[in-house]
Amino acid sequence: MKGHDSGTKTQDTTPKSRPGESNYGSEGSMGRHSRVAAACLGLLYYISDRTESWDESRQNCLKRGADLMIINDRGEQEFICTFKMFFWIGLTDRETKGTWKWVDETLTTTGFWSSGEPNGATIDSTEDCAEVNTINDQEKNRNDLGCSERRHWICVKLPDQ
Ligand SMILES: [Ca+2]
Ligand SMILES: [Ca+2]
């Protein structure tokens, strides 16, 4: 892991956006939609103030020249765990059930699944998007759930074209 510096986290201007509270910002304006969250590993991340479906979340990332976060190594896993929230990440098995692919088309190489997860194949076939519940064990906090569920999102700015 290199240069992990969650200490550069910028101002938390939204005290109501805490885990366990159901009334996330409903302002509805794009301006209140996210804040710059942190610089880590030389990258810039955005975290949403409010909760949305996986697809809405991804669209909001793309609008910012970003995409839902890909977690490839322990440094990134540790970074995301500094926020005690539920997040959509850029991982789905929509294309082929049981084959978890990141939004950059790479296959997942890390685990970090919660115990018994992903269980979408056993419960029903609708749990096709991955969330991270960073309130749980840092090593085991990934879960598949229905893509229409509402979660916060974390995205990472893509390099300028
Ligand atoms: Ca699935
Ligand atoms: Ca699940």
User: How do the domains of the chain map onto residue ranges?
Assistant: 34-157
- Other beta carbons within 10 angstroms of residue 105's beta carbon come to 7
Please report, in tens digits, the pLDDT of each residue of the chain (161 residues total).
444 444 333 444 444 434 433 333 333 333 445 555 566 667 889 999 999 999 999 999 999 999 999 998 888 899 988 888 999 999 999 998 889 999 999 998 778 999 999 988 765 568 999 999 988 888 999 999 999 999 999 999 988 76
Multiple choice CATH, 34-157, 3.10.100.10, 3.30.365.10, 3.40.50.20, 3.40.50.1000: 3.10.100.10
Q: How far is the CA of 52 from the centre of ligand 2 (A)?
A: 18
Neighbours of ion ligand 2 (CB under 5 A): 117, 119, 127, 143-144
Reported pTM: 0.75
Selection from 50, 34, 12 nearest residue 157 by Cα: 34
Q: How far is the CA of 130 from the centre of ligand 2 (A)?
A: 8
